[in-house]
Chains A and B, each alone.
Chain A
Amino acid sequence: MTDMKEPLIPVVGVVTDIRIDTPDVKTFRVVTPEGKKAFAHKPGQCAMLSVPGVGEAMFSITSSPTNEEYMEFSIKKCGCVTEWLHAMEVGQQITIRGPLGNGFPVDTAFAGHDMLFIAGGIGLAPLRSVINYCRHYRDRYGKIDIVYGSRSKQDLVDYQEIIDEWAGDEGVNVYLTIDREQPEWDGHVGFVPNYVKELGFSTDKIAVLCGPPIMIKFTLAGLMELGFDKTQVYTTMELRMKCGIGKCGRCNIGSKYVCKDGPVFRCDQLDELPDEY
């Protein structure tokens, strides 16, 4: 029995790079002490990171599975574990376990389709994985549109990567927006849901949404107005989790566990769940 793999026991991870993205978001690069990737994953899957003595928390894996050298996590400072992570230095060891959750259906439902990614704030973190996966296997997907908004220019996560890499790709259109005017910004100003309606996308594509609940709610309504069906729209959810494997009960919503049956849900599947979140 004790030689069986226990899903709650993590492995050691080493933080080899820390990038400051925004005033409250940092991106951490993690490998095993041997310098390898800790495990393979699918876009949209998550991992439990822990700082022994502080706690363990669930994070979406920001890097694409096509990156075979390391994993990255874009993390916003907002609680005990994340504050500790933000204070650490390169070379620090943490623990990691996963992959957890279902991930996006990149090789099935998404295959061959035009893709529309819509993110708000730190909501880009889980989408970056699938966006880079689609960019890597460019010929498997049609046109890619990315709408991303944040409070200010400084709060746009992965800004440099978006400008330097994504925006230049053929067949990839990036639309950035910030909530309020600011001096060094000549791009669009306004909230994501309105911007999506203004851009008026055609409905022959799959939309993937992630952001604060209020943004998801209004963006989804906007997509419905544009004529999208809920079966074309995917989102990824966040609830409190301890085990990550559908046993501790925290992320139970209706008959689903967000950690194992999600975090990715199609919006019509969400409708079947009790309206609790």
Chain B
Amino acid sequence: MRKIAVSRIQELFAAIAAGQTLYLPVDTKAGAKFEQWESGKQLSSALNTVRSAKDFFFPQTENLMDFRVEGKKIEIIDTRRESEDFVLFGVRACDVRSFTVLDRVFLAEPVDTYYKNRREHGLIMSMSCTRPAETCFCGTFGIDAAEPEGDVVCHMTADTLYLDAKTEKGSALLEGLSALTEDCAAEDEAAVERHRELSHERLSKLPLASLSADRFGADKTDEFFNDPAWKSLSEACLGCGTCTFVCPTCQCYDIQDFDTGHGVKRFRCWDSCMYSDFTKMSAGQPRLTQLERFRQRFMHKLVYYPTNNDGLFSCVGCGRCLSKCPIQMNIVKVMKQLGGKQND
């Protein structure tokens, strides 16, 4: 483990940014947001960014390929470019786990090369949480906010930033920064441990600390699919899709062509299972009501995805949907309603 004084953090950012593009959460009028670091940009003190970090690997819109069309002829133009190396600094434990959830989809055969390209060029410097919010429930899914996953795990106390490399990629980065950082002694390890304890103590007092996902998981379709509670839960859903867009694990997408007048561009964009268009075919609409679309989203996160991924849930408890849903409906309410006694 290495360390650097918090007062010298700008020097650290400058050193990282000298080798590759550095993105970190900064404060904007619209809340915390990942932006490219440049001299003078300060790390946000907010707990998390308004939008998740999934954009870096699965952007909201991307150009997949182009077509040149001339008469009856078509030329397909591969627009893929090798991604540049980049560092994501300050990613919280929930969002780091969301990358694992996305990996299981995009890196499964046949591999999505657009995603893989960015994933391989990105390095994650995660940040442990000391001041979790009341909407946080990452612990429900076995995530430890005090000890995130990532290439380099960072812990920031009042005066010191500790940097702990967890992968080869992370070690190589820290090696390059060794002139700036100091090696840690036993007292530093103790300081980090105290930091973790403090974090655990706060996490244990969160309002959602006892929320359990135990009743959900692989192969539980029959148990929940026909539950009458879906009706009351989904009744007020506006179908706006906000929950899917702020969600770090939602990965459904649409593919659309755009004719520029001098060629056709094929785009991929985020889509939402909350929309009726999502499943609408010329032959009919299999999910006619918002109840069915609402149910699909939560069944996917709590049952279908775990069935296909060794029990891994497709929710990381970041709490974004809790704070952003215009009708205050969210996965926690769904879990409490369907989750039986444990979640009363």
Contact B106–A240 (Cβ < 8 Å): no
A274 lies within 8 A of B225 (CB): yes
A276 within 8 Å of B (CB atoms)? yes
Q: Considering residues A93, A213, A238, A273, which has the most beta carbons from chain B within 10 angstroms of its beta carbon?
A: A93
- A109 to nearest B CB, angstroms? 23
Given contacts A252-B300, A274-B221, 7 further A-B contacts (CB under 8 A): A8-B64, A53-B67, A53-B257, A56-B257, A249-B278, A249-B300, A250-B252
B341 within 8 Å of A (CB atoms): no
Residue B283 interfacial (CB < 8 Å): yes
In the complex, what distance in Å separates the CA atom of A79 from the CA atom of B280? Answer: 11
**B18 located at the interface, meaning its Cβ lies under 8 Å from any Cβ of chain A in the complex:** no
Residues of B within 8 A of A (CB): 64-65, 67, 69, 72-76, 78, 80-83, 105-106, 108, 110-114, 116-117, 120, 221, 225, 251-259, 264, 266, 268, 271, 273, 278-284, 286-287, 292, 296, 299-300, 303-304, 307-308
Nearest CB of chain A from residue B105's CB, rounded to whole Å: 6
A254 an interface residue at 8 Å Cβ cutoff? yes
**What are the residues of chain A within 8 A of B221 when measuring CB–CB?**
254-255, 273-274
4 smallest CB-CB distances across A and B, nearest first, come from A249-B252, A79-B282, A52-B67, A255-B307
Q: Are A239 and B281 in contact (CB under 8 A)?
A: yes
Residue of B83, B292, B299 most packed against chain A (CB within 10 A): B299
Q: Which residues of B contact A250 (CB under 8 A)?
A: 252, 271, 278-279
Task: Name 13 A/B residue pairs within 8 A (Cβ), A-sorted.
Answer: A1-B113, A6-B78, A7-B111, A7-B112, A8-B255, A9-B64, A11-B76, A12-B76, A243-B255, A252-B296, A255-B303, A274-B225, A277-B286
Distance between Cα atoms of A9 and B268 in the complex (Å): 12
Q: CA A254 – CA B299 in complex, angstroms?
A: 8
Name the B residues within 8 Å of A249 (CB-CB): 251-253, 271, 273, 278, 300
* Closest residue on chain A to residue B284 by CB atoms: A213
A1 in contact with B280 (CB, 8 Å):
no
Q: Which residues of A contact B72 (CB under 8 A)?
A: 89, 91-93
Would you give the 0/1 interface string for A31-52, flagging 1 where the beta carbon is closer than 8 Å to chain B?
Answer: 0000000000000000000101
Interface SS of chain B = mixed
Report the bound CA distance from A254 to B76 in whole Å.
35
Chain A interface residue count, Cβ-Cβ cutoff 8 angstroms: 47
Other-chain residue from A9, A212, A255 in contact with B76 (beta carbon distance below 8 A): A9
* A5 CA / B110 CA spacing, docked (Å): 9
- Check A4 for interface membership: any CB of B closer than 8 A: yes
Q: Are B282 and A52 in contact (CB under 8 A)?
A: no
CB pair A9–B78 under 8 Å, yes or no, is yes
A250–B252 CA distance with the chains assembled, in angstroms:
7
How many Å from the CB of A122 to the closest CB on chain B?
10
Question: Would B253 and A239 count as touching, CB distance under 8 A?
Answer: no
Chain A residue numbers with a CB within 8 Å of B303 are: 255
Bound CA–CA A242/B256 (angstroms): 9
For residue A171, CB closer than 8 A to chain B, the reply is no
B266 touches A2 (CB 8 A): no
In the complex, which residue of chain A has the Cβ closest to the Cβ of B273? A249
In the complex, A91 Cα to B255 Cα: how many Å?
A: 26
Which residues of chain B are near A277, meaning CB under 8 Å?
286
Q: Is there a chain B Cβ closer than 8 Å to A196's Cβ?
A: no
> What is the distance, in angstroms, from A217's C-beta to the closest C-beta of chain B?
14
Give the one of A9, A89, A95, A255 with max B CB within 10 A. A255
Which of B69, B252, B300 counts the most A-chain CB atoms under 10 A from its CB? Answer: B252
CB of A248 within 8 Å of the partner chain: yes
Q: Of A2, A50, A248, A255, which contacts B253 at CB under 8 A?
A: A248
Q: Which residue of the partner chain B has the closest CB to A241? A: B281
Interface string of A91-112 (1 = CB under 8 A from B): 1111100000000000000000
Q: How far is the CA of A124 from the CA of B120 in the complex (A)?
A: 45
Question: Which residues of A, 236-273, contact B by the 8 Å Cβ criterion?
Answer: 238-240, 242-243, 245-250, 252, 254-255, 273
A98–B252 Cα distance when bound, in Å, is 20
Q: Chain A contacts of B106 at CB under 8 A? A: 247
Q: Which B residues are CB-close (under 8 A) to A74?
A: none
B97 to chain A, nearest CB (A): 19
- A12's nearest neighbour on chain B, judged by CB, is B74
Known A-B contacts A1-B117, A94-B74, A246-B108; A56 and B255 likewise in contact (beta carbons under 8 Å): yes
Chain A positions within 8 Å of B299 at CB level: 274
Contact of A142 with B by CB under 8 A: no
- A150 neighbours in B (Cβ, 8 Å): none
